[in-house]
Structure 1
């Protein structure tokens, strides 16, 4: 009999939905119980933290992935956990030595690893034992995070770009085009302090303008850019409701639009300067997991040929593995746009500068 796939949502410090967030008193004794095997077993319940959009919709990527994993490992159950504040939920728990009661994080980015390393004295995720991963060698070399502790392995990637309505706007070719009268009061973006695509768009402008990026943002603000807290607010809310004709989103947008049977006139993709900012998502295993063996089974499973191909369409992102290990066809191959050039800052650059960039942007645009 199939186990029910469970989903839990967590607010910071408080759980909402099915269950509460358990805290641990560090003075508690184990009451004579047997010590837990640090490698765990390849059965039982694996708790995987992720972001909400992975589980959105009746046929979500997350629900499909959980069912596929439970089919492959019938003695296991996958339980999704969606922390309201994302990785910060676990950063704060680690700061105050509270229990980390999940095993895997699906969707960690390089800037989130920087956030962990600039906040915590200890590591939240353990270094990967790549010898335990049969499929680790399939991952594209250019997606490697190259961070000092080798904690995360990519499972998908995408390119932040502009999505626009061609009935209202001509295709913008450069960042400078966005400052023209034709794009006045047209653009929706997201707050880089809270949003992945919003942060990627900021970094993309920094890559384009260098030290002059704030001047570009002042001009963008003067031309009427609107900033929302999250991608869902900007895209699922205002853009799809027709509030504005352009939004910061992803170059795979048309894949999702076809699936949702939306008018493709409103789902055109602009790759400014023939480029896009690459955002790679990875899997990491929590240092404190008691299900290490099952966690490694899950990581390897996500990198398998069938899962990589299916996630591309369902999660609307490019696979992390090389072409020889994935078969893409149909609407993804037809509709996804891969920019001529990808832009991305690496771990060391973000470690040195991301915090300052965010402070400068906030002082200039928000304050």
Structure 2
């Protein structure tokens, strides 16, 4: 098992193209490229996937899609999930590609309301329908691909060394005992940051802004995204950081193994907010047939089995066996925080403005 740092490095190497620059993921081929059955794919030989900066899958998995479908796959990276959704809205009259992957349940309503997702009829595999968006216009057109929980993580080795009892709840994070120990990705600049904000709203209700005042007053550090928080500032992220508390995922402890059969970190399961990432066909796609084929492939057993060790997320299929280390260390909460998608849609902009005001005072 590789560490989080190694996995993240692999992802970054695989996606070194600048945002919105297309790159072939698995090689060339000419315009007469054919599917495995010898047929020429309809709608053109190239299919373009627009996704977030953390997208990565094994080359052999992506090569299988090209071989089976006959399409060449290209990706366009558009930042984090929030940036991705914004770019889709801004470019909806001239879409960036054929398929989007990485719009999560905190931004899905905006993508649907803005009309950037086209009608599609992709069959869900066993278990996937559990993660469908709640009923609403266009809700069936975003297909769930993966899931996970955004949770506060702690460096167990740091707390043991310092002889300090670690926090367990959101409220604990405002305790002076944990001053200057927490790093958080921003709610306006990252999907895990927004998920963490929503967890605090679910917990604190109308008092969430006061909670954030206390949190920031207790020295919480705000950074742009997950990579900055985990890989740079977190003490177990590989960047020699000095913060032993970080907002990350319930799967993160499966990647911080100590080489002796254990892990050096824990996810605080009473702090979690569930995320689901979706894929959809873009309205106005140049190659809708290729887009449909790619959506079906993302739900197929090859991609679903590769998700845990490639992107640290759980598959939505219930017939996929998880890696052994996940079974031991990627513990999921029995009950996670949730906010109704309609409430998110109605209040997201207001909440983000208020959050920005509170955190920049």
TM-score exceeds 0.5: yes
Q: Which of these residues, 167, 171, 177, is aligned with residue 172 of structure 1?
A: 167
SS in 1 for 2:345: helix
Aligned-partner Cα distance in 2 for 1:68–1:44: 15
The answer to whether the aligner puts 1:243 opposite 2:242 as a matched pair is: yes
- Residue by residue over 1:121-173, the C-alpha shift from the partner in whole angstroms, topping out at 9 and shown as x without a partner, is xx11112224xx3xx14244441112421220111001011111113333322
The change in CA–CA distance for 1:310 and 1:117 in structure 2 (over 3 A counts) is closer
* Cα offset, 1:7, TM superposition: 6.2
Q: Say whether residues 1:234 and 2:235 are aligned partners.
A: no
After TM superposition, list the pairs within 5 Å mapping 1:12-91 onto structure 2. 41=42, 44-55=45-56, 61=57, 63-73=59-69, 75-84=70-79, 85-91=83-89
Q: Is 1:349 aligned to residue 338 of structure 2? A: no
Equivalent-residue separation in structure 1 for 2:283 and 2:316 (angstroms): 24
Return 5+ residue gaps in structure 1 as ranges. Answer: 1-5, 20-39, 56-60
Which TM-score applies when normalising by structure 2?
0.80
Counterpart among 94, 100, 106 of residue 95 in structure 2: 100
Instruction: Provide the alpha-carbon RMSD of the alignment.
Output: 2.6
Paired residue total: 318
1:35-65: CA deviation from partner (whole Å, max 9, x where unpaired): xxxxx8276111101111223xxxxx26454
Quote the Cα distance in structure 1 between the aligned partners of 2:281 and 2:23. Answer: 24
CA distance in 2, matches of 1:113, 1:185: 33
What secondary structure, in the 3-state scheme, does the structure 2 residue paired with 1:54 have? Answer: coil
Q: Specify which of 269, 272, 291 is matched with residue 271 of structure 1.
A: 269
Compared CA separation, residues 333 and 116, structure 1 to 2 (3 A):
same
Are residues 298 and 278 of structure 1, via their aligned partners in 2, closer, same or farther at CA, if it must alter by over 3 Å? same
Q: Which stretch of structure 1 is more off in the superposition, 77-86 or 107-116?
A: 107-116
The superposition leaves residues 196-254 of structure 1 with CA deviations (integer Å, 9 ceiling, x where unpaired) of: 11000000000001001111111111111000011111111111222211100001002
Task: Give 1:215-364 correspondences, 5 Å limit.
Answer: 215-239=210-234, 240=237, 241-258=240-257, 266-272=264-270, 276-321=272-317, 323=318, 325-364=319-358
Matched-pair contact (CA < 8 Å) for 1:251–1:269: yes
Contact 1:9 1:83 in 2 (8 A): no
Secondary structure, aligned partner of 1:284: strand
Counterpart position of 1:29: none
1:215–1:264: structure 2 CA closer, same or farther, 3 Å change rule? farther
Cα distance in structure 2, aligned partners of 1:83 and 1:206: 28
Q: 1:139–1:154: 8 Å Cα contact kept in structure 2?
A: no
Contact 2:154 2:268 in 1 (8 A): yes
SS at match of 1:102: coil
* Alpha-carbon separation, structure 1, partners of 2:347 and 2:224: 22
> How far does residue 267 in structure 1 lie from its aligned partner after superposition?
2.1
* 17 and 148 in structure 1: CA distance in 2 versus 1, 3 angstrom threshold: closer
Secondary structure of the residue aligned to 2:188 is: coil
